Amino acid sequence: MTRQCDHSDAADGVIVVDQFLPHPPRTVWQALVDPVKLAAWFMPNDFAPVVGHRFTFHRKANPVVRFSDTIACQVLELREHELLSYSWTDGGEYAGDLDSTVTWTLRPEGRGTRLFLQHRGFRPDDPAHQAARGLMTGGWRIYLTDRLPAFLSDSDQPTVETQRGAER
């Protein structure tokens, strides 16, 4: 069972999601930093858990919110099993239009993990930023209340090692 509370604060340009997951922080952390696991519940990527690493996520383009199809990111901060922060901007024709930051914070709670997501950087005076914030608020909610919990409950989760074995 998951419990969640989330909101989007237009005045501050921040999306916040607070999600309880009945899994230990180590398990939740792996879903955030293992690129194969991350791709299984979130998006295809070339992530590596190294501060300074530049990576991309790939998603269907959406010109209404000035998004090409690639999200360019860079790992800004990393504290194993506690905190992951990375920049988030369009990696294509709209590069630099929405420069934002995604921060994941994990806290042990009872027999599980309290996972906090903050996505900052949406300008309140920019209609495209507000449209993107609205779309992403719904997206983050789906990922954190449906897709991540379902992935974590699956005992046959992919890993980098099983992916390499399957490619041979």
- pTM (2 decimals)? 0.85
Mean pLDDT (the chain, rounded): 87
User: Residues 6 or more apart from 133 whose CB is under 8 A from it?
Assistant: 8, 10, 13, 15, 122
CA–CA separation, 82 vs 80, rounded Å? Answer: 5
Over the stretch 51-83, which tens digit does the pLDDT of each residue have? 999 999 998 877 777 778 899 999 999 999 999
Q: Domain 3-167 carries which CATH code?
A: 3.30.530.20
Over the stretch 36-45, which tens digit does the pLDDT of each residue have? 999 999 999 9
